[in-house]
Homo-oligomer: A and B are copies of this chain.
Amino acid sequence: MDRRDMLELLNEVATGVTSPEDALAELHADTVSDLGYARIDNARGLRQGVSEVVYGAGKTADQIAGICHAMLGAGQRRILITRLDAEKRSLLPADLDLAYHEDAQLGIVGGIPEPDGNGTIVVACGGTSDLPVAEEAALTAEFLGNTVVRLYDVGVAGIHRLLAHADEIMHAHVVVAVAGMEGALPSVIGGLTAAPVIAVPTSIGYGANFGGVAALLAMLNSCASGVSVVNIDNGFGAGYQANAINHL
Protein backbone atom coordinates (compact mmCIF):
# COMPACT_ATOMS: atom_id res chain seq x y z
CA MET A 1 0.00 0.00 0.00
CA ASP A 2 1.65 3.23 -1.13
CA ARG A 3 1.14 6.94 -0.48
CA ARG A 4 -1.72 7.18 -2.96
CA ASP A 5 -3.61 4.15 -1.64
CA MET A 6 -3.24 5.29 1.93
CA LEU A 7 -4.58 8.74 1.14
CA GLU A 8 -7.62 7.17 -0.47
CA LEU A 9 -8.15 4.88 2.52
CA LEU A 10 -7.91 7.78 4.95
CA ASN A 11 -10.45 9.70 2.88
CA GLU A 12 -12.79 6.72 3.16
CA VAL A 13 -12.34 6.76 6.91
CA ALA A 14 -12.99 10.49 7.02
CA THR A 15 -16.20 10.08 5.07
CA GLY A 16 -17.32 7.02 7.00
CA VAL A 17 -17.08 4.67 4.05
CA THR A 18 -14.56 2.58 5.95
CA SER A 19 -14.43 2.13 9.72
CA PRO A 20 -11.22 2.92 11.55
CA GLU A 21 -10.95 -0.75 12.58
CA ASP A 22 -11.18 -2.01 9.00
CA ALA A 23 -8.73 0.64 7.85
CA LEU A 24 -6.25 -0.39 10.49
CA ALA A 25 -6.46 -4.01 9.35
CA GLU A 26 -5.80 -2.93 5.80
CA LEU A 27 -2.80 -0.80 6.69
CA HIS A 28 -0.76 -3.84 7.70
CA ALA A 29 1.48 -1.44 9.55
CA ASP A 30 4.67 -2.88 11.02
CA THR A 31 4.02 -6.32 9.62
CA VAL A 32 6.58 -8.32 7.74
CA SER A 33 5.46 -11.25 5.57
CA ASP A 34 8.10 -13.93 6.07
CA LEU A 35 8.17 -16.27 3.06
CA GLY A 36 11.39 -18.00 4.16
CA TYR A 37 13.33 -16.83 1.10
CA ALA A 38 12.03 -13.25 1.56
CA ARG A 39 10.70 -10.93 4.25
CA ILE A 40 8.25 -8.50 2.66
CA ASP A 41 8.33 -5.10 4.29
CA ASN A 42 4.60 -4.26 4.15
CA ALA A 43 5.02 -1.02 6.04
CA ARG A 44 7.46 0.49 3.54
CA GLY A 45 4.60 2.46 1.99
CA LEU A 46 3.96 4.03 5.36
CA ARG A 47 7.60 4.99 5.86
CA GLN A 48 8.64 5.89 2.35
CA GLY A 49 5.48 6.56 0.36
CA VAL A 50 6.37 3.83 -2.11
CA SER A 51 5.72 0.10 -1.59
CA GLU A 52 8.48 -2.45 -1.96
CA VAL A 53 9.58 -3.06 -5.53
CA VAL A 54 10.52 -6.58 -6.68
CA TYR A 55 14.08 -6.91 -8.02
CA GLY A 56 13.68 -9.75 -10.50
CA ALA A 57 17.31 -10.70 -11.14
CA GLY A 58 18.62 -13.48 -8.93
CA LYS A 59 15.12 -14.64 -8.01
CA THR A 60 13.31 -17.61 -9.56
CA ALA A 61 9.94 -17.14 -11.26
CA ASP A 62 8.36 -19.04 -8.36
CA GLN A 63 9.89 -16.69 -5.82
CA ILE A 64 8.71 -13.64 -7.78
CA ALA A 65 5.20 -15.01 -8.04
CA GLY A 66 5.16 -15.86 -4.33
CA ILE A 67 6.25 -12.37 -3.39
CA CYS A 68 3.68 -10.74 -5.69
CA HIS A 69 0.85 -12.83 -4.29
CA ALA A 70 1.88 -11.99 -0.75
CA MET A 71 1.95 -8.28 -1.62
CA LEU A 72 -1.44 -8.36 -3.30
CA GLY A 73 -2.76 -10.32 -0.33
CA ALA A 74 -1.47 -7.57 1.95
CA GLY A 75 -3.52 -5.01 0.05
CA GLN A 76 -0.99 -3.59 -2.39
CA ARG A 77 -2.68 -2.59 -5.67
CA ARG A 78 0.24 -2.02 -8.02
CA ILE A 79 3.54 -3.88 -8.21
CA LEU A 80 6.67 -3.04 -10.17
CA ILE A 81 9.07 -5.89 -11.07
CA THR A 82 12.47 -4.80 -12.40
CA ARG A 83 15.19 -6.77 -14.24
CA LEU A 84 12.61 -9.31 -15.42
CA ASP A 85 13.85 -11.01 -18.56
CA ALA A 86 11.48 -12.38 -21.18
CA GLU A 87 12.11 -16.02 -20.29
CA LYS A 88 11.38 -15.56 -16.60
CA ARG A 89 8.33 -13.47 -17.44
CA SER A 90 6.96 -16.35 -19.51
CA LEU A 91 7.12 -18.57 -16.43
CA LEU A 92 5.00 -16.26 -14.25
CA PRO A 93 1.39 -17.35 -13.59
CA ALA A 94 -1.24 -15.73 -15.81
CA ASP A 95 -3.38 -14.56 -12.87
CA LEU A 96 -0.80 -11.90 -12.05
CA ASP A 97 -2.14 -9.84 -14.98
CA LEU A 98 1.24 -8.38 -15.77
CA ALA A 99 1.98 -5.74 -18.40
CA TYR A 100 5.46 -6.48 -19.72
CA HIS A 101 7.87 -3.92 -21.27
CA GLU A 102 10.59 -5.98 -22.90
CA ASP A 103 12.95 -3.12 -23.78
CA ALA A 104 13.04 -1.95 -20.18
CA GLN A 105 12.77 -5.47 -18.75
CA LEU A 106 9.95 -4.28 -16.49
CA GLY A 107 6.76 -5.99 -15.42
CA ILE A 108 3.88 -3.92 -14.04
CA VAL A 109 0.93 -5.35 -12.14
CA GLY A 110 -2.11 -3.14 -11.66
CA GLY A 111 -1.31 -0.54 -14.27
CA ILE A 112 0.08 2.97 -14.31
CA PRO A 113 -1.81 5.60 -12.24
CA GLU A 114 -2.75 9.16 -13.06
CA PRO A 115 0.26 11.44 -12.54
CA ASP A 116 0.10 13.59 -9.40
CA GLY A 117 3.64 15.03 -9.17
CA ASN A 118 4.57 18.70 -8.89
CA GLY A 119 6.10 19.04 -12.37
CA THR A 120 7.36 17.08 -15.33
CA ILE A 121 10.33 14.75 -15.37
CA VAL A 122 12.50 14.87 -18.51
CA VAL A 123 14.26 11.62 -19.37
CA ALA A 124 16.99 12.29 -21.94
CA CYS A 125 19.43 9.81 -23.43
CA GLY A 126 22.50 10.06 -25.61
CA GLY A 127 21.96 7.34 -28.18
CA THR A 128 19.53 4.74 -29.44
CA SER A 129 21.48 2.05 -27.60
CA ASP A 130 20.80 3.72 -24.25
CA LEU A 131 17.06 3.41 -24.81
CA PRO A 132 16.42 0.36 -22.57
CA VAL A 133 17.89 2.09 -19.53
CA ALA A 134 16.07 5.33 -20.32
CA GLU A 135 12.80 3.44 -20.62
CA GLU A 136 13.41 1.75 -17.26
CA ALA A 137 13.73 5.22 -15.74
CA ALA A 138 10.75 6.67 -17.58
CA LEU A 139 8.39 3.77 -16.85
CA THR A 140 9.43 3.67 -13.19
CA ALA A 141 8.64 7.36 -12.87
CA GLU A 142 5.29 6.89 -14.61
CA PHE A 143 4.47 3.91 -12.40
CA LEU A 144 5.08 6.12 -9.37
CA GLY A 145 2.75 8.85 -10.62
CA ASN A 146 4.75 11.30 -12.69
CA THR A 147 4.44 12.99 -16.09
CA VAL A 148 7.45 12.08 -18.20
CA VAL A 149 8.87 13.83 -21.29
CA ARG A 150 11.21 11.62 -23.33
CA LEU A 151 14.16 13.16 -25.25
CA TYR A 152 16.03 10.29 -26.89
CA ASP A 153 19.20 10.27 -29.06
CA VAL A 154 20.34 13.76 -28.14
CA GLY A 155 24.03 12.97 -27.62
CA VAL A 156 26.59 15.74 -27.32
CA ALA A 157 28.40 15.02 -30.59
CA GLY A 158 25.45 16.68 -32.34
CA ILE A 159 24.82 19.37 -29.77
CA HIS A 160 22.09 21.10 -31.83
CA ARG A 161 19.81 18.09 -31.33
CA LEU A 162 19.96 18.75 -27.61
CA LEU A 163 19.78 22.54 -27.81
CA ALA A 164 16.62 22.23 -29.91
CA HIS A 165 14.95 20.99 -26.73
CA ALA A 166 16.50 23.48 -24.30
CA ASP A 167 13.05 24.72 -23.47
CA GLU A 168 11.74 21.39 -22.25
CA ILE A 169 14.88 20.93 -20.21
CA MET A 170 14.67 24.36 -18.59
CA HIS A 171 11.07 23.81 -17.56
CA ALA A 172 11.52 20.33 -16.14
CA HIS A 173 11.20 19.73 -12.41
CA VAL A 174 13.85 17.01 -12.55
CA VAL A 175 15.99 15.72 -15.41
CA VAL A 176 17.17 12.14 -15.72
CA ALA A 177 20.17 12.11 -18.09
CA VAL A 178 21.11 8.69 -19.44
CA ALA A 179 24.32 8.15 -21.40
CA GLY A 180 26.96 5.55 -22.20
CA MET A 181 30.33 6.04 -23.93
CA GLU A 182 31.87 9.27 -22.58
CA GLY A 183 28.85 10.13 -20.45
CA ALA A 184 28.95 13.88 -21.18
CA LEU A 185 25.21 14.47 -21.50
CA PRO A 186 24.52 15.31 -17.82
CA SER A 187 27.27 17.95 -17.81
CA VAL A 188 25.80 19.79 -20.77
CA ILE A 189 22.26 19.50 -19.44
CA GLY A 190 23.40 20.51 -15.96
CA GLY A 191 24.64 23.77 -17.46
CA LEU A 192 21.25 24.52 -19.01
CA THR A 193 18.88 24.15 -16.07
CA ALA A 194 18.37 24.95 -12.39
CA ALA A 195 16.61 21.63 -11.84
CA PRO A 196 18.44 18.71 -10.22
CA VAL A 197 19.93 16.29 -12.75
CA ILE A 198 20.07 12.58 -11.97
CA ALA A 199 22.76 11.02 -14.17
CA VAL A 200 22.60 7.38 -15.23
CA PRO A 201 25.69 5.84 -16.83
CA THR A 202 24.98 2.94 -19.17
CA SER A 203 27.19 0.01 -20.09
CA ILE A 204 26.84 0.87 -23.79
CA GLY A 205 30.18 1.01 -25.58
CA TYR A 206 33.20 -1.22 -25.87
CA GLY A 207 36.90 -1.43 -25.04
CA ALA A 208 37.93 1.16 -22.51
CA ASN A 209 34.33 1.89 -21.55
CA PHE A 210 34.71 -1.02 -19.11
CA GLY A 211 31.05 -1.85 -18.89
CA GLY A 212 29.98 1.68 -18.11
CA VAL A 213 32.83 2.74 -15.85
CA ALA A 214 33.94 5.44 -18.30
CA ALA A 215 30.53 7.08 -18.24
CA LEU A 216 30.18 6.60 -14.49
CA LEU A 217 33.47 8.37 -13.77
CA ALA A 218 32.65 11.16 -16.19
CA MET A 219 29.35 11.79 -14.44
CA LEU A 220 30.87 11.72 -10.95
CA ASN A 221 33.39 14.31 -12.16
CA SER A 222 30.88 16.51 -13.93
CA CYS A 223 31.92 20.13 -14.03
CA ALA A 224 28.23 21.08 -13.82
CA SER A 225 27.20 21.43 -10.20
CA GLY A 226 23.66 20.08 -9.83
CA VAL A 227 24.39 16.52 -10.91
CA SER A 228 24.21 13.37 -8.81
CA VAL A 229 24.69 9.85 -10.05
CA VAL A 230 23.19 6.38 -9.69
CA ASN A 231 24.69 2.98 -10.49
CA ILE A 232 25.50 1.88 -14.05
CA ASP A 233 22.35 0.93 -15.97
CA ASN A 234 20.23 1.78 -12.92
CA GLY A 235 17.34 3.42 -14.70
CA PHE A 236 15.04 2.28 -11.93
CA GLY A 237 17.04 4.11 -9.25
CA ALA A 238 16.99 7.32 -11.24
CA GLY A 239 13.26 7.12 -11.89
CA TYR A 240 12.68 6.39 -8.22
CA GLN A 241 14.66 9.37 -6.97
CA ALA A 242 13.19 11.65 -9.61
CA ASN A 243 9.78 10.68 -8.25
CA ALA A 244 10.89 11.42 -4.70
CA ILE A 245 12.00 14.90 -5.75
CA ASN A 246 8.88 15.50 -7.84
CA HIS A 247 6.56 14.62 -4.92
CA LEU A 248 8.16 16.73 -2.20
Contact = CB atoms under 8 A, between A and B. Distances in A.
Q: Kindly state the interface size class of chain A when it binds its partner.
A: 35 or more
Interface in A19-59: 30, 32, 36-39, 41, 44, 47-50, 53, 55, 57-59
Interface string A169-204: 010010000001111100110111111101001011
A77 interface: no
Contacts of A154: 39
Given A193-B48, A245-B248, A221 B205 contact: yes
Interface string A66-87: 0000000000000000010000
Nearest to A41: B158
Contacts of A44: 158
Nearest to A225: B240
Given A128-B59, A217-B218, A244 B157 contact: no
Interface of A: 3, 30, 32, 36-39, 41, 44, 47-50, 53, 55, 57-59, 63, 83, 118-119, 126-129, 131, 152-161, 163-164, 170, 173, 180-184, 187-188, 190-196, 198, 201, 203-234, 236-238, 240-241, 244-245, 247-248
